[in-house]
Amino acid sequence: MSKNTSVTLGDHFEQIIEKSIESGRYSSASEVIREGLRLVDEREQKIKILRDAIEAGEKSGYVKNFDPVKHLEKLNQSYKK
57, pLDDT greater than 80? yes
Instruction: Identify whether 31 is part of a domain.
Output: yes
pTM of the model: 0.70
pLDDT tens per residue across span 19-48? 999 999 999 999 999 999 999 999 999 999
Instruction: Identify whether 36 is part of a domain.
Output: yes
Give 23-79 as a 3 state SS string.
CCCCCCHHHHHHHHHHHHHHHHHHHHHHHHHHHHHHHCCCCCCCCHHHHHHHHHHHH
Q: What range does the domain containing 71 cover? A: 11-80
- 28 and 44 Cβ atoms separated by less than 8 Å: no
User: How many domains is the chain built from?
Assistant: 1
Instruction: Identify whether 2 is part of a domain.
Output: no
pLDDT tens per residue across span 11-23? 999 999 999 999 9
Instruction: Identify whether 1 is part of a domain.
Output: no
Considering the chain, what is the average pLDDT of its residues?
Answer: 95
Query: How many angstroms separate the first and last alpha carbons of the chain?
Result: 54
Instruction: Identify whether 67 is part of a domain.
Output: yes
Instruction: Identify whether 6 is part of a domain.
Output: no
